[in-house]
Amino acid sequence: MGSKLLLDKVHIENIRSYDVYRREGGYRSVEKAIRSMNPVAVMEEVKKSGLRGRGGAGFPTGMKWSFLAKPEGVPRYLVCNADESEPGTFKDRYLMEFIPHLLIEGLIVSSYAIGSNRTYIYIRGEFKWIIDILEQAITEAKNNGWLGKNILGSGFDCEIYVHSGAGAYICGEETALLESLEGKRGNPRIKPPFPAVRGLWDCPTVVNNVETIAAVVPIINDGGDNYAKIGTGKSTGTKLISSCGNIKKPGVYEIEMSISVEEFIYSDEYCGGIANGRRLKACIPGGSSVPILPANLLLKTAKGDSRMMTYESLADGGFQSGSMMGSGGFIVLDEDQCVVRHTYTLARFYRHESCGQCSPCREGTGWMEKILLNIENGKGKMSDIDLLWDIQRKIEGNTICPLGDAAAWPVAAAIRHFRDEFEWHITNPDDAQRRNYGLANYAEPLKVVAV
Amino acid sequence: MIQFSDEKLKEVQRIIGFYPEGKQKSAVLPVLHLAQQEFGGWLSVATMDYVASLLQIEPIEVYEVATFFSMYNLKPVGKYMFEVCQTGPCMLNGSDNIIKYIGEKLGIKPGETSADGLFTLKTVECMAACGYAPMMQLGKHYREHLTKEKVDAIIDECRKNAELNN
């Protein structure tokens, strides 16, 4: 059983309420930070912890905070990104729904470090019931003196507000989120300037994911050095993994970043193996945007090492034979699943979510969706596979924000690793309507196919 | 006449108070949610113009936003809207069959409203419920681990509620 830092208390009855949360040691990190540390010391502790952004990009949090511009007389803002929308990802929802005070506590400490007197939680609009849960937690925190004016007699003021989005994946991108928070369409901004210099209402702003902010609590309570002792290499601490697809026990698991992918999938402590006695075919380990891997490359790297649940190991081999930790949205496909159909649903998702600002993404995502649907429906041509490859290449890196890359990568990886399944759909259109391609040789010992 | 009740106007003021003075435009998303909920489940031009007047911004600033986000309905919808997720992880767990079943049961296709005005079927993209698939949003809450039996029960529940409220 690995250590749990975020979800260790989630099963305590009524932990959602302030009284129980406080009785279980809640808000100690606020006391410690505000009474005995200055903001710089809090930031240093987060730097020491090695905490990396848990939203998907994995950028070191302490470093992100240290980039914040501090001009005199200009407010600074902390914005919590709770727009969780990456397919496969539902960890932030779990945390906010079941232990909301952990997020509020983390936000107060982080606001103190950054100097934000007005902090926002930008939450996806569909989480309507969670907005109520968070507002209740904020009210309780305020009634008990953790928010408002002159917190703990320190002179530090802070308010937290919950701002509802309205159904747009793109608002998980930090500059689109800020546009939306200003009441505009969620069109990403050109960077630089980065939000740390010009963010919300042109003021210096830090945007952090829910899980990142929650991790600040154990870092302050136990010290950054102790946090950094958990995990492996540059993957310090614990990570929430939301696992779904064809596994026995879908759900949110907090793992130490030192276990293997195989243990995560097959151990009863986590996913419990593949559902319905089927075999593992493929997996997208970090949310729909990251490359899909066939079973053989998922469990072992191209070098033959066990693949681990760490930022480094999941990325081992680059996009030729590896993937990414991403947001921790772990999507498992069993032998009965069709990679073409699955990739089509993802292409449709990205077409729907493209904001339309950049032509390669606006047009390319639609083309990829249509071509994939044709192949899936038995109307594909062999040249379509190369056409798809060509389109995704022309989207990647040619857009203002990473949505273009996020749309290109799943298509690229599906073709890279499952080209024979695409070809089979095209050469056997009737069969492809009746049955799935099956496991093929993806679970066989390693065979790296390079495109 | 489109006009929030006094209670809802207080709620609008509370939301505007979240933002610094002069930044009330930021309240447009939450106030549009409130307006959609209060004025029949969708946003007419008149409703959007009303929101613009409350926030002291131009109507076009409201239209720009309302047309961008998928939670706003720009035409009338049924009393109960089934928003069924169809993205990858839900697909792996049979959402295609659930969508088909709901459509057959209600006699409508995705995007349509039943003749009695009770039900709208809408397919949506990932709702962050992937581990509890297949799923749909119905009003404020998610309905998860959907099966044909659960769908039957939900439809019955809606019909009963509609009768009670008539």
pLDDT tens digit sequence for B49-80: 999 999 999 999 999 999 999 999 999 999 99
Pick B125's closest partner by Cβ from A329, A337, A353.
A353
Q: Are A308 and A231 in contact (CB under 8 A)?
A: no
Residues B51 and B123 in one domain: no
Separation of alpha carbons B158 and B150, rounded Å: 12
The answer for B 51-80 residues in CB contact with A (under 8 A) is: 55, 57, 61, 64-65, 68-72
pLDDT class of A448 with cuts at 50, 70, 90: very low
pLDDT at A208 over 80: yes
Provide the CA A300 distance to its chain's centre, in angstroms: 23
A106-110 average pLDDT score: 98
Count of C-beta atoms within a 10 Å radius of residue A109:
27
Which residues, 6 or more positions from A151, have their beta carbon under 8 angstroms from its beta carbon? A30, A34, A108, A112, A145, A157, A158
Count of residues making up chain A: 451
* Domain count of the fold of chain B: 2
Give A-chain residues touching B93 at CB under 8 angstroms: 245-246
Pick B127's closest partner by Cβ from A126, A284, A345.
A126
- Interchain CB contact of A249 with B (< 8 Å): no
CATH classification of the domain holding A265? 3.10.20.600
* Residue span of the structural domain in which B39 resides: 6-66
Residues A225 and A263 in one domain: no
Strand, helix or coil for residue A355: coil
Structure tokens at A333: 């496909």
The DSSP H or E segment spanning A209 is strand A205-209
Residues A42 and A179 in one domain: yes
E strands within chain B? 80-85, 119-124, 136-138, 141-143
Q: State whether the Cα torsion A46-A50-A56-A57 is positive or negative.
A: positive
Separation of alpha carbons B27 and B52, rounded Å: 10
Q: Which of B66, B90, B114 is the last residue of a domain?
A: B66
**Where are the alpha helices (H) located in B70-147, listed in sequence order?**
88-92, 95-106
Q: Which of A312, A334, A356 is the last residue of a domain?
A: A334
* Residue span of the structural domain in which A66 resides: 18-229
Write out pLDDT tens, residues A209-242: 999 999 999 999 999 999 999 998 899 999 999 9
Q: Are A388 and A413 in contact (CB under 8 A)?
A: no
B30 Rama sector, left if φ>0, alpha if ψ -120 to 50, beta otherwise: alpha
pLDDT at A445 over 60: no
A134-146 average pLDDT score: 98
Write out pLDDT tens, residues A263-300: 999 999 999 999 999 999 999 999 999 999 999 999 99
CATH classification of the domain holding A399? 1.20.1440.230
Pick A125's closest partner by Cβ from B18, B19, B71.
B71
Count of residues making up chain B: 166
* Domain count of the fold of chain A: 3
Q: Taking CB atoms and an 8 Å limit, are B132 and A250 in contact across chains?
A: yes
Count of C-beta atoms within a 10 Å radius of residue A269:
13
pLDDT class of A443 with cuts at 50, 70, 90: low
E strands within A220-374? 231-232, 235-236, 238-245, 251-256, 280-284, 293-294, 329-334
According to the model, what pLDDT value does residue A446 have?
Answer: 46
Which residues, 6 or more positions from B165, have their beta carbon under 8 angstroms from its beta carbon? none
- Interchain CB contact of B140 with A (< 8 Å): yes
Average per-residue pLDDT for chain A: 95
- Beta bridge partners, A77, equal A118, A205
Give B-chain residues touching A185 at CB under 8 angstroms: 64-65, 68
Separation of alpha carbons A219 and A211, rounded Å: 13
Inside any domain, residue A374: yes
Separation of alpha carbons A101 and A214, rounded Å: 9
E strands within A49-204? 76-82, 116-123, 159-164
